[in-house]
Structure 1
Amino acid sequence: MTNLEDHAPAPADPDGDLASLRGDCARMAPHWAAPERDPARPVPPSWIHGVTVPASSARMLEEMPDYGN
């Protein structure tokens, strides 16, 4: 049996809008199955000591207009 369902092509603009991204995600979702996971347990506040961000990640975020500029 042949699947004749028509899929929209990938967007020509890789920096497309949110609607385009959501459409891409919706088309790809059936290709991946999420593993079964146990619900997350609360973490005691004494375990939280701060966040360390690698310099390369910080530089990447600085260059993103939504976060750094």
Structure 2
Amino acid sequence: MTNLKVHGSASQDLDGDLASLRGDGARMARHWAAPVPVEPLPVSPSLIHGVTVPPTSARLLDAMSDYGD
């Protein structure tokens, strides 16, 4: 169930215009911090052994004209 309670001075109009949507986003942005990006570590080629594809997925890709034809 959706909780439509409005906190603070936000508009009760749920069908607002673009300006009210941008204002809502600006007010919420300070509450949502982006996580610090994590750089992936390089993998030695000797550890890469190929890709395993389940038979059902292989049949699906084989049936697509962009793959395997």
Higher Cα Rg: structure 1 or 2?
2
Indicate the structure whose relative CO is greater, using CA pairs within 8 Å and at least 6 residues apart: 1
TM-score by length of 1: 0.44
In the superposition, the TM-score normalised over structure 2's length comes to 0.44
